[in-house]
Amino acid sequence: MTTIVDKLKIAEYIKQYIPYLSVKEIKKIIEIPPKEINFTYAFPVFKLAKHEKRAPIQIAQDLIKKISKPNFLEKIEAEGPYINFKVNPNIVLKNIYNLKEDYGRIREIEKQENRKTIVIEYPSPNTNKPLHLGHIRNMLIGSSTANLLKYKGQKVFQVNLNNDRGIHICKSMLAYKKLGDHKKPDKKPDHFVGDFYVKYNQLEQKDESIIEEAKELLKKWEEKDPEIRALWKKMNNWAFQGFEETYEKFEIEFDKQYFESDYYWKGKKLILEGLEKGIFEETEDGAIIAPLSEQYNLPDKVLLRRDGTSIYITQDIYLAMLKKKDFQYDISIYVVGNEQDLYFKQLFKVLEMLGYEEEKYHLSYGMISLPEGKMKSREGNVVDADDLVEEIIDLAYEEVDKRYSKLSEAEKKERAKIIGMAALRFFILKISPKTDFVFNPKESISFEGETGPYVQYVYARIESIINKSQQKLTDNIDPSLYQHENEQALIKELNYFPEIVNQAAEEYDIHLIPQYLLNLCQIFNSFYTTCPVIQKHKELERARLFLIKCVQLVIKKGLNLMDIQVLKEM
């Protein structure tokens, strides 16, 4: 039997003593007290003063006399204008130990709610070049958010839109026609295709008129010229093969892949129907627009050019309809950089105008860059994803070779891969998605500081302590033995994990998970230096073993949500 104790549980319990506020209002008021306060939750009564017309301290004193202590709380106290609640440590630890990886979704286990169907679209690459550093951030945010939502019980579909047509694709094709000499890839195939995009740019620098040849190629493609279509298909297939290899490195699988070339013209019908219904308007020069300025305070958006040709939003409108047909989603999430913030506000309003009322969310993220001079770029300002993965695993190998020279070569390589990918994933995901930042490969691989390897190391250290102890791991312990402030701080932090998971899922903000893990590891290290686990007092040793096992279980689940593996030895 599990009993979840969180802000909602506290709010539900004290509602009987505050009848004029709803559970939702009470929950909103409840706070997490500072670390030095040895209570799990605090309820400031300032907001009750307006209703009761009395001083907050007096209200708190009167309330504490009325509130009886339930079994799930160890202590309730009034301090000034606050009522403080301390959760029963035995409940927290037994919840973790019994539920193990399900602890973070304890509320879903306690109360099954309706599952929502969610479609999450990422990383939407262009097929004229390899995936790059920006795509890494996109993929990590997209796949980890999908993991999180699945963990919380939602039905999640991951889809990818391949931008496989257009002038940028024709530029690579033109360079291949001129310089490729019917060659086949002699390297990773998407890199091979990308080389010709670079070569096109070099040709254009010498002769700007070459763009006219690229436009002519696009025209022939649109006319379905057999020779041009055959070349397009061949080069796109090379790009797709390369993409799949990169997705595999990041353990990403899509439920469906969409291709712009399959439907780019189909949104036109939806726009014309909207015009007939009076939803959209025609300008004097013949373009069709969505009038957004008056009602939504957004710039009006062109949907069809005056010559009747579609633009990108036309295609996205059709794709939204297609995804709805394919998945009957309740929520559609788009993982796209913040330079498209305005565009998505416009797209979502246009979809609402057309009757697509389902929840839509732009999971926006900022720019990621590398320290100057750290890696050579293929185009001067872009770093390929594959090159960065190779670089980070090489750095991890250097650390592994230095620390664990006795391991076999195969073990060193496997461990370097696990640590390297942990470094990459964690360092990127610990930053709020909306923030621009510089990714430093060497800093990310450190076993100290705010890194993935550091969290993995804490997990491995706990494993080592458990293995060294002669005591049997059991949940049959005396919680009153946890007298040290660092023991209590650790239990307090463990209690918050389900709430952090819930907040991260509700706000589509995966960075809350690594930030929580860093905080947990910091508290564990304070505990580790002041509270020896292996000792003469065997009952206390068993209690502390049980406590650190619970820490280990939470670390593992937190890392797994980001597709980071743990190591039992580091």
pLDDT for residue 561 is more than 50: yes
The secondary element (H helix, E strand) that includes residue 258 is strand 256-259
Coil, strand or helix at 31: strand
Say what the pLDDT of residue 541 is.
Answer: 97
Query: Which of these three, 331, 365, 399, is where a domain ends?
Result: 365
Instruction: Round to whole Å and give the CA distance between 362 and 343.
Output: 10
Instruction: Round to whole Å and give the CA distance between 531 and 524.
Output: 10
Whether 122 maps to a domain, the answer reads yes
Say what the pLDDT of residue 310 is.
Answer: 81
Say what the pLDDT of residue 3 is.
Answer: 84
Whether 371 maps to a domain, the answer reads no
Instruction: Round to whole Å and give the CA distance between 384 and 378.
Output: 8
Instruction: Round to whole Å and give the CA distance between 158 and 461.
Output: 35
Average pLDDT of 359-375?
Answer: 83
Least confident stretch, 70-79, 100-109, 233-242, 279-288 = 100-109
Residue 252 has which token pair? 């990403």
* Beta strands 301-304 and 256-259, pairing class: unpaired
**Residue 419, domain extent:** 385-560
In angstroms, the first-to-last Cα distance of the chain is 36
Least confident stretch, 46-50, 249-253, 344-348, 395-399 = 46-50
Say what the pLDDT of residue 111 is.
Answer: 72
Do 167 and 257 belong to one domain? yes
Instruction: Round to whole Å and give the CA distance between 238 and 193.
Output: 7
Instruction: Round to whole Å and give the CA distance between 429 and 178.
Output: 42
Do 189 and 279 belong to one domain? yes
Instruction: Round to whole Å and give the CA distance between 328 and 322.
Output: 10
Instruction: Round to whole Å and give the CA distance between 71 and 88.
Output: 8
Return the beta strands (E) in 340-443 as ranges: 359-365, 368-369, 437-438
Do 475 and 437 belong to one domain? yes
Average pLDDT of 452-471?
Answer: 97
Average pLDDT of 398-418?
Answer: 95
Do 417 and 534 belong to one domain? yes
Q: How confident is the model at residue 108 (pLDDT cuts 50, 70, 90)?
A: confident
Do 337 and 300 belong to one domain? yes
Say what the pLDDT of residue 171 is.
Answer: 96
289-343 per-position pLDDT tens digit: 999 999 999 999 999 998 878 889 999 999 999 999 999 999 999 999 999 999 9
Q: How many domains does the chain have?
A: 3
pLDDT for residue 513 is more than 70: yes
Whether 372 maps to a domain, the answer reads no
Sheet holding 301-304, edge to edge: 281-282, 288-290, 301-304
Average pLDDT of 241-260?
Answer: 98
Whether 32 maps to a domain, the answer reads yes
Average pLDDT of 387-404?
Answer: 94
CATH number at residue 449: 1.10.730.10
Q: Does the CA dihedral 390-392-393-398 come out positive or negative?
A: positive
Instruction: Round to whole Å and give the CA distance between 123 and 140.
Output: 9
Query: Which of these three, 337, 365, 393, is where a domain ends?
Result: 365
Do 187 and 313 belong to one domain? yes
Q: Answer whether 103's CB lies under 8 Å from 80's CB.
A: no
Do 43 and 170 belong to one domain? no
Whether 379 maps to a domain, the answer reads no
381: alpha, beta or left? (left if phi > 0; alpha if psi -120 to 50):
alpha
Average pLDDT of 56-64?
Answer: 95
Q: How confident is the model at residue 376 (pLDDT cuts 50, 70, 90)?
A: very low
Instruction: Round to whole Å and give the CA distance between 337 and 68.
Output: 51
Vertex 494: Cα angle to 491 and 495 (nearest 5):
90
Do 344 and 419 belong to one domain? no
Do 481 and 534 belong to one domain? yes
Average pLDDT of 482-494?
Answer: 97
Average pLDDT of 448-467?
Answer: 97
Q: What is the value of pTM for the model shown? A: 0.94
CATH number at residue 169: 3.40.50.620
Do 400 and 341 belong to one domain? no
Do 334 and 226 belong to one domain? yes
φ, ψ of residue 48 in degrees (nearest 5): -80, -20
Average pLDDT of 115-137?
Answer: 96
Give DSSP secondary structure letters for 351-379.
HHHTT--SEEEEEEE--EE--TTSS--SS
Q: How confident is the model at residue 249 (pLDDT cuts 50, 70, 90)?
A: very high
CB neighbours (10 Å) of residue 83? 25
Say what the pLDDT of residue 321 is.
Answer: 95
Please give the share of the chain, as a percent, with pLDDT higher than 90. Answer: 88
Query: Which of these three, 365, 395, 410, is where a domain ends?
Result: 365
Do 126 and 32 belong to one domain? no
Whether 447 maps to a domain, the answer reads yes
Average pLDDT of 533-547?
Answer: 97
Residue 119 β-bridge partners: 157, 332
CATH number at residue 30: 3.30.1360.70
Whether 92 maps to a domain, the answer reads no
Q: Answer whether 271's CB lies under 8 Å from 283's CB.
A: no
Q: How confident is the model at residue 381 (pLDDT cuts 50, 70, 90)?
A: low
Whether 248 maps to a domain, the answer reads yes
pLDDT for residue 374 is more than 70: no
Burial of 441 (0-12, 13-18, 19+ CB in 10 A): buried
Q: Across the chain, what does the average pLDDT equal? A: 94
Give DSSP secondary structure letters for 172-195.
HHHHHHHHTTT---SS-HHHHHHH
The contacts found for 211-217 with CB under 8 angstroms, 24 or more apart, are: 213/174, 214/167, 214/170, 214/171, 214/174, 215/167, 215/170, 217/170, 217/173, 217/174, 217/177
